[in-house]
Structure 1
Amino acid sequence: MPEYAEVALRALFSFIVLFTCARVLGKKQISQLTFFDYVVGIVIGDMAAQLAIDTSMKIVNASIGLVVYTLLSVIIAYGAIKSFKFRDLVESSPSILIKDGKIMEKGLFKHKMTYDDLMNGLREKDAFIIDEVEMAIMETNGQISVMKKPEYQALTPKDIGLRMKDNHAPSLIIIDGTLLENRIKSLGYTKDWLHSEIKKKGAKDFKDVFLAQIDSNGNVYVDLYNDAEETKKDKEE
Structure 2
Amino acid sequence: MPTWLEVIFRTIFAVVVLFLLTKILGKRQVSQLSFFEYITGITLGSLAAYISLDTDKNWHLGMIAILVWVAISFGIEYLQLKSKKARDFIDFKATVLIKNGKVLEENLKKERLTTDDLLEQLRGKDVFKVADVEFAIMETTGQINVLLNRENQPLTPKHLGIKVAPEKETQAVIMDGKLMPEPLDMMGKTPKWLMDELEKQQLNLQDIFLGQVDSYGDLTVDLYADNVQVPQPQEKPQVYALLKKCEADLELFGLASDRQDAKKLYEQCSSQLQQVIADLKPLLRT
TM bracket, shorter-chain basis: 0.7 to 0.9
TM-score w.r.t. the length of structure 1 is 0.86
- Mapped partners of 2:168, 2:175: distance in 1: 19
Deviations 1:110-129 (A, max 9, x none): 21211111111111111111
Could you say what secondary structure the match of 2:228 adopts? Answer: helix
> CA separation of 1:152/1:203 partners in 2, compared to 1, >3 Å: closer, same or farther?
closer
- Mapped partners of 1:2, 1:190: distance in 2: 58
> CA separation of 1:33/1:233 partners in 2, compared to 1, >3 Å: closer, same or farther?
closer
Q: Which runs of 5+ in 1 are unaligned?
A: none
Query: Is structure 2 residue 24 aligned with structure 1 residue 16?
Result: no
> CA separation of 1:81/1:200 partners in 2, compared to 1, >3 Å: closer, same or farther?
same
Q: Which runs of 5+ in 2 are unaligned?
A: 232-286
Root-mean-square deviation (Å): 2.7
- Mapped partners of 2:193, 2:6: distance in 1: 61
Query: Is structure 2 residue 128 aligned with structure 1 residue 128?
Result: yes
The higher relative CO (CA closer than 8 Å, separation ≥ 6) is in 1
Partner of 2:137: 137
Contact 1:202 1:233 in 2 (8 A): no
- Mapped partners of 1:19, 1:172: distance in 2: 28
Partner of 1:187: 187
- Mapped partners of 2:176, 2:206: distance in 1: 8
Contact 1:201 1:222 in 2 (8 A): no
Query: Is structure 2 residue 189 aligned with structure 1 residue 231?
Result: no
Could you say what secondary structure the match of 1:231 adopts? Answer: coil
Detail structure 1 runs of 4+ shifted over 6 Å in the superposition. none
Kindly tell me the number of residue pairs found equivalent between the two proteins. Answer: 233
- Mapped partners of 1:15, 1:185: distance in 2: 38
Percent identity, aligned pairs only, is 40
TM-score w.r.t. the length of structure 2 is 0.72
Query: Is structure 2 residue 114 aligned with structure 1 residue 114?
Result: yes
- Mapped partners of 2:212, 2:26: distance in 1: 30
- Mapped partners of 2:118, 2:177: distance in 1: 50
Question: Per-residue deviation at 1:200?
Answer: 2.7
Which of the pair has more CA radius of gyration?
2
Letter in 2 for 1:146: V
Deviations 1:27-72 (A, max 9, x none): 2375521222112101110110111112236222100110000111
5 Å-filtered alignment, 1:1-237, equals: 1-28=1-28, 30=30, 32-56=32-56, 58-176=58-176, 178-181=178-181, 183-204=183-204, 209-223=208-222, 227=225, 231=228
Could you say what secondary structure the match of 2:96 adopts? Answer: strand
